[in-house]
Protein backbone atom coordinates (compact mmCIF):
# COMPACT_ATOMS: atom_id res chain seq x y z
CA UNK A 1 0.00 0.00 0.00
CA UNK A 2 1.19 3.51 -0.80
CA UNK A 3 0.35 6.53 1.38
CA UNK A 4 -0.42 10.14 0.38
CA UNK A 5 2.23 12.83 0.49
CA UNK A 6 2.26 16.48 -0.58
CA UNK A 7 4.51 16.53 -3.64
CA UNK A 8 4.07 20.02 -5.14
CA UNK A 9 2.97 23.45 -3.94
CA UNK A 10 2.11 26.65 -5.82
CA UNK A 11 0.52 30.03 -5.21
CA UNK A 12 -0.77 32.92 -7.30
CA UNK A 13 -1.66 36.41 -6.11
CA UNK A 14 -3.53 39.28 -7.73
CA UNK A 15 -1.11 41.99 -8.84
CA UNK A 16 -2.89 44.93 -7.15
CA UNK A 17 -1.39 45.75 -3.74
CA UNK A 18 -3.59 47.72 -1.34
CA UNK A 19 -1.60 49.20 1.53
CA UNK A 20 -2.92 50.42 4.86
CA UNK A 21 -2.43 53.97 3.65
CA UNK A 22 -4.60 53.21 0.59
CA UNK A 23 -7.33 52.22 3.06
CA UNK A 24 -6.73 55.38 5.10
CA UNK A 25 -7.81 57.29 2.00
CA UNK A 26 -11.26 55.63 1.90
CA UNK A 27 -11.97 54.70 5.53
CA UNK A 28 -11.77 56.19 9.02
CA UNK A 29 -8.74 54.08 9.91
CA UNK A 30 -4.97 54.37 10.21
CA UNK A 31 -1.89 52.35 9.41
CA UNK A 32 -1.03 52.55 13.11
CA UNK A 33 -4.40 51.03 14.17
CA UNK A 34 -4.33 48.27 11.56
CA UNK A 35 -0.70 47.27 12.10
CA UNK A 36 -0.80 47.35 15.89
CA UNK A 37 -4.09 45.38 16.10
CA UNK A 38 -3.44 42.88 13.28
CA UNK A 39 0.16 42.98 12.01
CA UNK A 40 -1.19 43.59 8.50
CA UNK A 41 0.66 46.07 6.27
CA UNK A 42 -0.89 45.34 2.89
CA UNK A 43 -3.08 42.88 1.04
CA UNK A 44 -3.79 41.91 -2.59
CA UNK A 45 -7.08 42.77 -4.28
CA UNK A 46 -8.30 41.08 -7.46
CA UNK A 47 -9.00 43.58 -10.23
CA UNK A 48 -8.56 41.62 -13.45
CA UNK A 49 -8.39 38.24 -11.71
CA UNK A 50 -11.28 36.07 -10.52
CA UNK A 51 -11.59 33.12 -8.14
CA UNK A 52 -11.48 30.62 -11.01
CA UNK A 53 -8.68 32.40 -12.92
CA UNK A 54 -6.45 32.50 -9.82
CA UNK A 55 -7.19 28.85 -9.01
CA UNK A 56 -6.58 27.77 -12.61
CA UNK A 57 -3.18 29.51 -12.62
CA UNK A 58 -2.28 27.64 -9.43
CA UNK A 59 -3.31 24.39 -11.12
CA UNK A 60 -1.18 25.18 -14.20
CA UNK A 61 1.91 25.73 -12.07
CA UNK A 62 1.29 22.51 -10.12
CA UNK A 63 1.01 20.50 -13.36
CA UNK A 64 4.12 22.16 -14.81
CA UNK A 65 6.14 21.45 -11.69
CA UNK A 66 5.02 17.82 -11.62
CA UNK A 67 5.26 17.51 -15.40
CA UNK A 68 1.98 15.61 -15.47
CA UNK A 69 -1.63 15.85 -16.61
CA UNK A 70 -2.52 12.73 -14.73
CA UNK A 71 -4.76 13.93 -11.89
CA UNK A 72 -7.69 11.89 -10.54
CA UNK A 73 -9.55 14.69 -8.76
CA UNK A 74 -9.60 18.43 -8.10
CA UNK A 75 -10.97 19.79 -4.84
CA UNK A 76 -11.24 23.56 -4.49
CA UNK A 77 -11.85 25.14 -1.10
CA UNK A 78 -13.59 28.47 -1.52
CA UNK A 79 -16.49 30.55 -0.29
CA UNK A 80 -16.26 33.08 -3.12
CA UNK A 81 -16.96 31.05 -6.26
CA UNK A 82 -17.39 33.14 -9.40
CA UNK A 83 -20.73 31.44 -9.89
CA UNK A 84 -23.05 29.60 -7.48
CA UNK A 85 -22.87 26.75 -9.93
CA UNK A 86 -20.85 25.16 -11.48
CA UNK A 87 -18.16 24.72 -8.87
CA UNK A 88 -14.86 26.54 -9.19
CA UNK A 89 -13.21 23.10 -9.37
CA UNK A 90 -15.07 22.37 -12.63
CA UNK A 91 -13.89 25.69 -14.08
CA UNK A 92 -10.33 24.81 -13.05
CA UNK A 93 -10.74 21.42 -14.73
CA UNK A 94 -11.86 23.14 -17.92
CA UNK A 95 -8.92 25.55 -17.79
CA UNK A 96 -6.44 22.73 -17.30
CA UNK A 97 -8.02 20.21 -19.67
CA UNK A 98 -8.01 17.49 -17.02
CA UNK A 99 -10.99 15.69 -18.56
CA UNK A 100 -10.51 12.51 -16.54
CA UNK A 101 -10.64 14.20 -13.10
CA UNK A 102 -13.74 14.54 -10.92
CA UNK A 103 -14.12 17.95 -9.38
CA UNK A 104 -15.98 19.65 -6.57
CA UNK A 105 -15.76 22.56 -4.13
CA UNK A 106 -15.73 22.62 -0.36
CA UNK A 107 -16.97 25.62 1.57
CA UNK A 108 -15.59 25.59 5.09
CA UNK A 109 -14.58 29.27 4.98
CA UNK A 110 -11.09 29.90 6.35
CA UNK A 111 -10.80 26.22 7.39
CA UNK A 112 -11.54 25.14 3.82
CA UNK A 113 -8.06 24.01 2.85
CA UNK A 114 -7.72 21.88 5.99
CA UNK A 115 -11.06 20.20 5.28
CA UNK A 116 -10.23 19.73 1.58
CA UNK A 117 -6.81 18.24 2.26
CA UNK A 118 -8.34 15.83 4.75
CA UNK A 119 -10.92 14.72 2.18
CA UNK A 120 -8.21 14.32 -0.46
CA UNK A 121 -6.22 12.12 1.88
CA UNK A 122 -9.26 9.83 2.37
CA UNK A 123 -9.78 9.45 -1.40
CA UNK A 124 -6.13 8.56 -1.80
CA UNK A 125 -6.11 6.16 1.14
CA UNK A 126 -8.93 4.26 -0.59
CA UNK A 127 -6.24 3.38 -3.20
CA UNK A 128 -8.82 3.89 -5.93
CA UNK A 129 -7.22 7.25 -6.77
CA UNK A 130 -3.52 8.07 -6.93
CA UNK A 131 -3.18 11.81 -7.39
CA UNK A 132 -5.29 14.78 -6.28
CA UNK A 133 -5.10 18.54 -6.67
CA UNK A 134 -6.27 20.61 -3.68
CA UNK A 135 -6.57 24.37 -4.11
CA UNK A 136 -7.61 27.02 -1.60
CA UNK A 137 -8.78 30.27 -3.19
CA UNK A 138 -10.80 33.27 -2.13
CA UNK A 139 -11.54 36.66 -3.58
CA UNK A 140 -12.65 38.17 -0.30
CA UNK A 141 -12.85 41.60 -1.91
CA UNK A 142 -16.11 40.40 -3.53
CA UNK A 143 -17.60 39.85 -0.08
CA UNK A 144 -16.28 42.82 1.83
CA UNK A 145 -18.09 46.04 2.58
CA UNK A 146 -15.38 48.64 1.94
CA UNK A 147 -17.24 51.13 4.12
CA UNK A 148 -16.94 48.79 7.15
CA UNK A 149 -13.55 49.44 8.72
CA UNK A 150 -14.08 46.48 11.08
CA UNK A 151 -13.69 43.98 8.22
CA UNK A 152 -12.31 45.87 5.19
CA UNK A 153 -8.81 46.12 6.64
CA UNK A 154 -8.50 42.44 7.52
CA UNK A 155 -9.04 40.50 4.33
CA UNK A 156 -7.23 39.99 1.03
CA UNK A 157 -7.39 37.83 -2.12
CA UNK A 158 -5.20 34.92 -3.19
CA UNK A 159 -4.94 31.30 -4.29
CA UNK A 160 -2.61 28.41 -3.51
CA UNK A 161 -2.65 24.67 -3.73
CA UNK A 162 -0.91 21.34 -3.59
CA UNK A 163 -0.65 18.04 -5.38
CA UNK A 164 -1.10 15.06 -3.08
CA UNK A 165 -0.04 11.65 -4.32
CA UNK A 166 0.18 8.07 -3.16
CA UNK A 167 3.95 7.78 -3.30
CA UNK A 168 5.07 6.98 0.21
CA UNK A 169 5.69 3.62 1.85
CA UNK A 170 4.84 5.04 5.30
CA UNK A 171 1.95 7.27 6.47
CA UNK A 172 2.55 11.04 6.42
CA UNK A 173 -0.81 12.28 7.69
CA UNK A 174 -0.09 11.65 11.34
CA UNK A 175 -3.22 12.93 13.08
CA UNK A 176 -6.22 15.13 12.45
CA UNK A 177 -9.07 16.74 14.32
CA UNK A 178 -11.75 18.60 12.38
CA UNK A 179 -14.61 20.38 14.08
CA UNK A 180 -17.64 22.63 13.42
CA UNK A 181 -20.23 24.50 15.47
CA UNK A 182 -23.09 25.85 13.37
CA UNK A 183 -24.71 27.18 16.53
CA UNK A 184 -22.21 30.05 16.50
CA UNK A 185 -22.64 30.90 12.80
CA UNK A 186 -23.57 34.50 13.52
CA UNK A 187 -20.05 35.34 14.71
CA UNK A 188 -18.94 35.48 11.07
CA UNK A 189 -21.26 35.22 8.11
CA UNK A 190 -22.04 36.64 4.71
CA UNK A 191 -25.60 36.65 3.47
CA UNK A 192 -26.67 35.58 0.06
CA UNK A 193 -30.10 36.38 -1.32
CA UNK A 194 -31.83 36.93 -4.61
CA UNK A 195 -32.86 40.54 -4.48
CA UNK A 196 -34.87 40.33 -7.69
CA UNK A 197 -37.33 37.76 -6.31
CA UNK A 198 -40.59 39.76 -6.25
CA UNK A 199 -42.29 37.17 -4.02
CA UNK A 200 -39.79 37.46 -1.21
CA UNK A 201 -39.27 40.58 0.85
CA UNK A 202 -35.81 40.63 2.37
CA UNK A 203 -35.53 42.84 5.45
CA UNK A 204 -32.37 44.42 6.78
CA UNK A 205 -29.99 41.97 5.20
CA UNK A 206 -26.49 43.08 4.36
CA UNK A 207 -25.00 41.33 1.33
CA UNK A 208 -21.56 41.66 2.90
CA UNK A 209 -19.46 39.74 5.39
CA UNK A 210 -20.47 40.48 8.97
CA UNK A 211 -18.17 39.71 11.87
CA UNK A 212 -18.06 39.88 15.63
CA UNK A 213 -14.28 40.26 15.94
CA UNK A 214 -14.09 39.75 19.67
CA UNK A 215 -16.16 36.56 19.55
CA UNK A 216 -13.86 35.16 16.84
CA UNK A 217 -10.77 36.12 18.83
CA UNK A 218 -12.12 34.32 21.91
CA UNK A 219 -13.20 31.29 19.86
CA UNK A 220 -9.71 30.89 18.44
CA UNK A 221 -8.01 31.12 21.79
CA UNK A 222 -10.44 28.77 23.51
CA UNK A 223 -11.52 26.18 20.91
CA UNK A 224 -8.77 26.26 18.29
CA UNK A 225 -6.01 26.02 20.89
CA UNK A 226 -7.70 22.94 22.40
CA UNK A 227 -8.05 21.42 18.95
CA UNK A 228 -4.34 21.90 18.21
CA UNK A 229 -3.30 20.36 21.51
CA UNK A 230 -5.66 17.41 21.01
CA UNK A 231 -4.33 16.76 17.47
CA UNK A 232 -0.82 16.86 18.90
CA UNK A 233 -1.75 14.50 21.75
CA UNK A 234 -3.38 12.01 19.36
CA UNK A 235 -0.23 11.98 17.25
CA UNK A 236 1.86 10.78 20.19
CA UNK A 237 4.34 13.57 19.43
CA UNK A 238 5.58 16.28 21.78
CA UNK A 239 5.74 20.02 21.25
CA UNK A 240 9.44 19.85 20.45
CA UNK A 241 8.80 17.30 17.68
CA UNK A 242 6.82 19.89 15.70
CA UNK A 243 9.05 21.74 13.25
CA UNK A 244 6.55 24.46 12.32
CA UNK A 245 2.94 25.49 12.78
CA UNK A 246 1.11 26.78 9.71
CA UNK A 247 -2.01 28.34 11.20
CA UNK A 248 -4.63 30.34 9.35
CA UNK A 249 -3.27 33.86 8.84
CA UNK A 250 -6.03 36.03 10.28
CA UNK A 251 -4.10 38.37 12.53
CA UNK A 252 -0.55 38.40 13.93
CA UNK A 253 -1.75 39.33 17.41
CA UNK A 254 -4.06 36.32 17.34
CA UNK A 255 -1.25 34.03 16.12
CA UNK A 256 1.05 35.25 18.90
CA UNK A 257 -1.68 34.69 21.49
CA UNK A 258 -2.38 31.23 20.08
CA UNK A 259 1.30 30.27 20.24
CA UNK A 260 1.42 31.36 23.87
CA UNK A 261 -1.81 29.52 24.68
CA UNK A 262 -0.54 26.19 23.33
CA UNK A 263 2.90 26.79 24.78
CA UNK A 264 4.70 26.69 21.43
CA UNK A 265 7.57 29.11 20.66
CA UNK A 266 6.10 31.81 18.44
CA UNK A 267 9.08 31.42 16.07
CA UNK A 268 7.55 28.06 15.08
CA UNK A 269 4.41 29.85 13.86
CA UNK A 270 5.30 30.84 10.31
CA UNK A 271 3.65 34.04 9.15
CA UNK A 272 2.99 36.14 6.05
CA UNK A 273 -0.13 37.94 7.27
CA UNK A 274 1.71 41.29 7.03
CA UNK A 275 1.68 41.09 3.21
CA UNK A 276 -1.61 39.39 2.38
CA UNK A 277 -4.00 39.82 5.32
CA UNK A 278 -6.59 37.11 5.77
CA UNK A 279 -6.96 35.29 2.44
CA UNK A 280 -9.44 32.79 3.88
CA UNK A 281 -9.27 29.40 2.09
CA UNK A 282 -5.97 30.39 0.44
CA UNK A 283 -4.25 31.39 3.65
CA UNK A 284 -2.69 28.10 4.83
CA UNK A 285 -1.56 26.79 1.40
CA UNK A 286 -0.23 30.26 0.52
CA UNK A 287 1.92 30.20 3.64
CA UNK A 288 3.02 26.65 2.81
CA UNK A 289 3.94 27.50 -0.77
CA UNK A 290 5.80 30.70 0.16
CA UNK A 291 7.67 28.90 2.94
CA UNK A 292 8.77 26.23 0.46
CA UNK A 293 9.92 28.96 -1.96
CA UNK A 294 11.90 30.55 0.88
CA UNK A 295 13.34 27.12 1.75
CA UNK A 296 12.07 27.35 5.35
CA UNK A 297 10.17 24.20 4.46
CA UNK A 298 11.51 21.50 2.16
CA UNK A 299 9.10 18.98 0.65
CA UNK A 300 10.41 15.46 1.17
CA UNK A 301 12.47 16.32 4.23
CA UNK A 302 9.80 14.89 6.58
CA UNK A 303 9.41 18.08 8.60
CA UNK A 304 6.47 17.71 10.97
CA UNK A 305 4.00 20.50 10.36
CA UNK A 306 0.87 21.32 12.32
CA UNK A 307 -1.61 22.80 9.85
CA UNK A 308 -4.53 24.60 11.51
CA UNK A 309 -7.51 26.46 10.09
CA UNK A 310 -10.42 28.30 11.69
CA UNK A 311 -13.22 30.47 10.47
CA UNK A 312 -16.87 30.95 9.65
CA UNK A 313 -19.24 28.12 10.40
CA UNK A 314 -17.82 28.07 12.88
CA UNK A 315 -15.31 25.60 11.48
CA UNK A 316 -11.86 24.67 12.68
CA UNK A 317 -9.38 21.85 12.42
CA UNK A 318 -5.80 20.64 12.49
CA UNK A 319 -3.80 18.19 10.42
CA UNK A 320 -0.39 17.06 11.58
CA UNK A 321 1.57 16.12 8.49
CA UNK A 322 5.02 14.92 7.61
CA UNK A 323 5.91 16.95 4.53
N1 LIG B 1 -9.50 51.38 12.20
C2 LIG B 1 -9.65 52.16 13.26
N3 LIG B 1 -10.46 51.86 14.30
C4 LIG B 1 -11.13 50.70 14.22
C5 LIG B 1 -11.03 49.83 13.13
C6 LIG B 1 -10.18 50.22 12.07
N7 LIG B 1 -10.01 49.47 10.98
N8 LIG B 1 -11.82 48.76 13.35
C9 LIG B 1 -12.39 48.93 14.54
N10 LIG B 1 -11.99 50.11 15.07
C11 LIG B 1 -12.35 50.71 16.35
C12 LIG B 1 -13.62 50.15 16.92
O13 LIG B 1 -14.73 50.81 16.34
C14 LIG B 1 -13.47 50.46 18.38
O15 LIG B 1 -13.82 51.80 18.59
P16 LIG B 1 -14.64 52.24 19.90
O17 LIG B 1 -13.80 51.83 21.07
O18 LIG B 1 -14.78 53.71 19.71
O19 LIG B 1 -15.92 51.46 19.81
C20 LIG B 1 -11.96 50.34 18.61
O21 LIG B 1 -11.36 50.40 17.32
C22 LIG B 1 -11.53 49.07 19.29
O23 LIG B 1 -12.18 48.02 18.67
P24 LIG B 1 -12.00 46.58 19.21
O25 LIG B 1 -13.00 45.71 18.51
O26 LIG B 1 -11.97 46.59 20.68
O27 LIG B 1 -10.53 46.24 18.69
P28 LIG B 1 -9.74 44.95 19.00
O29 LIG B 1 -8.49 45.34 19.70
O30 LIG B 1 -10.58 43.89 19.61
O31 LIG B 1 -9.37 44.45 17.54
C32 LIG B 1 -10.03 43.00 15.75
C33 LIG B 1 -10.40 44.20 16.59
C34 LIG B 1 -11.08 42.79 14.67
C35 LIG B 1 -8.69 43.28 15.07
C36 LIG B 1 -9.91 41.77 16.68
O37 LIG B 1 -11.10 41.62 17.43
C38 LIG B 1 -9.65 40.52 15.90
O39 LIG B 1 -8.62 40.35 15.32
N40 LIG B 1 -10.60 39.56 15.90
C41 LIG B 1 -10.48 38.38 15.11
C42 LIG B 1 -11.05 38.67 13.76
C43 LIG B 1 -10.66 37.65 12.72
O44 LIG B 1 -9.53 37.29 12.64
N45 LIG B 1 -11.64 37.22 11.93
C46 LIG B 1 -11.46 36.31 10.87
C47 LIG B 1 -11.25 34.94 11.39
S48 LIG B 1 -11.30 33.80 10.10
Identify whether residues 138 and 218 lie together within a single domain.
no
Q: What is the residue-averaged pLDDT of the chain?
A: 95
- Cα 133 to Cα 26, 115, 165, 293: the distances in Å are 39, 13, 9, 19
**Residue 130 is part of a domain; what is its CATH number?**
3.40.47.10
What is the pTM for the complete model shown? 0.96
Using CA positions, which residue lies closest to atom 44 of ligand 1? 250
Identify whether residues 243 and 139 lie together within a single domain.
no
Using CA positions, which residue lies closest to atom 47 of ligand 1? 311
Identify whether residues 188 and 312 lie together within a single domain.
yes
Interior angle at CA 108, CA 172 and CA 106, nearest 5: 75
> Could you report the per-residue pLDDT of 43-55, keeping only the tens digit for each?
999 999 999 999 9
Tell how far the Cα of 153 is from the centroid of ligand 1, in angstroms.
10
Residue 100: which domain range? 3-168
The CA-based diameter of the chain, rounded to the nearest angstrom, is 60
Identify whether residues 31 and 152 lie together within a single domain.
yes
Please identify, among 168, 189, 205, the residue that sits at the C-terminal boundary of a domain: 168
Q: What percent of the chain has pLDDT over 90?
A: 93
Of 30, 37, 189, which is best to mutate to test ligand 1, by the most ligand atoms within 8 angstroms of its C-beta?
A: 37
Please identify, among 114, 141, 168, the residue that sits at the C-terminal boundary of a domain: 168
Identify whether residues 92 and 153 lie together within a single domain.
yes
Q: Which of 90, 227, 248, 322 is catalytic?
A: 248
Burial per residue of 181-217, b for 16 or more beta-carbon CB atoms within 10 angstroms, e otherwise? eeebeebbbbeeeeeeeeeeeeeeeeebbbbebeebe
Range in 201-205, 213-217, 245-249, 251-255 the model is least confident about: 201-205
> Could you report the per-residue pLDDT of 117-126, keeping only the tens digit for each?
999 999 999 9
Identify whether residues 105 and 31 lie together within a single domain.
yes
- Cα 241 to Cα 134, 217, 258, 280, 284: the distances in Å are 26, 27, 18, 28, 20
Identify whether residues 190 and 145 lie together within a single domain.
no
| Catalytic-residue membership of 110 | yes
38 Cβ inside 6 Å of ligand 1: yes
pLDDT at residue 34 is higher than 80: yes
Amino acid sequence: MLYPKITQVAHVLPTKVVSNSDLEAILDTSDEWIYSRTGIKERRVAIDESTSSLATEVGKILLQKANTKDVDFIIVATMTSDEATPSTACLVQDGLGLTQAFCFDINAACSGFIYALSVAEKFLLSQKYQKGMVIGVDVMSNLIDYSDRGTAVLFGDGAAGVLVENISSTPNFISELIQSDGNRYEALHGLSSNRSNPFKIVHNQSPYLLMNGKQIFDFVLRDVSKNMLQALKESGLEHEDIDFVLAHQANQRLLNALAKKINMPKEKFLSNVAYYGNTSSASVPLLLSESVDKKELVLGRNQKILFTGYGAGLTWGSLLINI
